[in-house]
Amino acid sequence: MGPIIVWFRRDLRVDDHAALYHATRVGLPVVPLFVSDTELTRRLPPDGAAFNFLTEALAELRKNLKALGGELMTRRGKVLEVHKTLLKELQPQAIYFNRDYEPSSIEQDSKIEELYRKSGVEVQTFKDTLVHEPSEVLTGDGKPFVVFTPFANAWKKLSHPAPFGEARRFTTAKLASDGILGAGELKREVSIPSPVLPGGEKQANRRWRMFLSRKIGSYATNRDLPAVDGTSMMSPYLRFGCISIRKMLEDCRKAHQSAAHAERASIEKFVDELIWREFYHSVLYHFPRLLESNYRREFDRMPWKFSVVLFNAWKKGLTGYPFVDAGMRQLNQTGWMHNRARMVVASFLTKDLQHDWRLGASYFEEKLMDIETASNNGGWQWSASTGVDPKPMRIFNPRLQSERYDPESKYIKQFVPELAKVPAKFVHGPHEMPPALQKEIGCIIGRQYPAPVVDHAAVSAEYKRLYVAVRSHNS
């Protein structure tokens, strides 16, 4: 009798892996499969840091599968063609895989299912990437939510699935494999000099245990302070499935039960952030057009500007607004950016520079190690006031954000070293320093550090006029 193929994708772990858990309980040989999709590789942005994170995760997955008695098989090519070859080569009894909810994955998966079913092969798919799928969290009328709070309330009322636990031991026949391909083999240059985290299940669990034991109780207070290591930084591991979302939620539930009263609000706040991720997955699932278009269609008429000079200044962290520049440099150096900074830099690009949010979303896709299409799209449309949002008119003042969330300028000075000697009085607005002081400390505005590329007050007023004009035209 043929084996069961377990197709790994964005679920690179063995613990609490729905498809692997169920496949190893059937009693047949199992072929763990990862396909390096050549079509997807060509479409993905050019930086190779995320590919190396993937390589590290796959290397550990191979090790962990071997400990269970199996062997990871990797193949490279067009996904459908690879599966056609495997059908002939393995004559499998079944294929098991965990569902993905992005539009391109849904289309691809339907073709894979059709291919195997037409050949008489059993197909089993599982919920694994999310706690609750988009089809499970709906309004009383069976419609998708487009506002977070009602979505979160409905989500919390559902019965949450418990972790499955460990897979059983299994056997895998010796099969040809293409090996694990990193950025070098895929001819992808790594421009990020200091990737924020290493990949893999072991590293994911280590980071998660540390956050649970030391930081989750103060999360609500520290999460907005980019100079403080107060966030979980689990997003890259969730992106590649190096840790189970079921396990994380179960751990949060247990932590909440044993936490002091003051800490429970922080744990609840962290769970809300997990729900935001599921909310954006739901929105994109139900409205796949949002990949390219505005949820609020009136913004199709928004007269976005474009300046190569201004866009490059934003990308390089040379806008003259220290908090914005620190965020962009953190991204360029580490492949990650603090969430508070993400909101500020996105607001700055769309509201101050009045550039199309799709430009920013594309740049984030190129650089972020934790890039998830749904969250990236949802976050950018939220920042641009074009998305699902009950309070769409938000403009972040970069100076006030800087003063409030980086009051001692530790974050700014970490990533914008030109400002290291700038006195606290001027660090949030270095262009206000007297010329004599600039010369004295060696930070001349316009040379060592740029003057502000726009006047926030003026461009904010202009954006508000444009916003009102767009909205009025629709009414």
**339 in active site:** yes
Q: How far is CA 458 from the centre of its chain?
A: 33
pLDDT, residue 191, reads 86
DSSP state of 77: E
Helix, strand and coil content of the chain, in percent to the nearest 5, comes to: 50, 5, 40
pLDDT, residue 172, reads 94
pLDDT, residue 183, reads 75
pLDDT, residue 279, reads 98
Q: Which of 39, 304, 365, 403 is catalytic?
A: 304
**298 in active site:** no
pLDDT, residue 47, reads 67
Q: Is the Cα dihedral 368, 370, 376, 382 positive or negative?
A: negative
Q: Which of 357, 366, 377, 382 is catalytic?
A: 357
Regions in the chain scoring below 70 on pLDDT: 44-48, 474-475
pLDDT, residue 46, reads 57
Q: Give all domains of the chain, ordered by start, each with its CATH number.
A: 4-129 (3.40.50.620), 201-286 (1.25.40.80), 297-474 (1.10.579.10)
Quickly count: other Cβ atoms within 10 Å of residue 312's Cβ. Answer: 10
H/E element, 213? helix 201-214
Q: Which of 208, 336, 380, 382 is catalytic?
A: 380
How far is residue 140 from each of residues 144, 152, 250, measured CA to CA in Å? 10, 14, 27
pLDDT, residue 127, reads 98
Query: Using alpha carbons only, what angle is made at residue 327 by residues 321 and 333, rounded to the nearest 5 degrees?
Result: 125
Q: Which of 339, 365, 403, 462 is catalytic?
A: 339
**304 in active site:** yes
Q: Is the Cα dihedral 171, 175, 178, 179 positive or negative?
A: positive
pLDDT, residue 475, reads 53
Q: Which of 39, 113, 276, 462 is catalytic?
A: 276
**155 in active site:** no
pLDDT, residue 212, reads 97
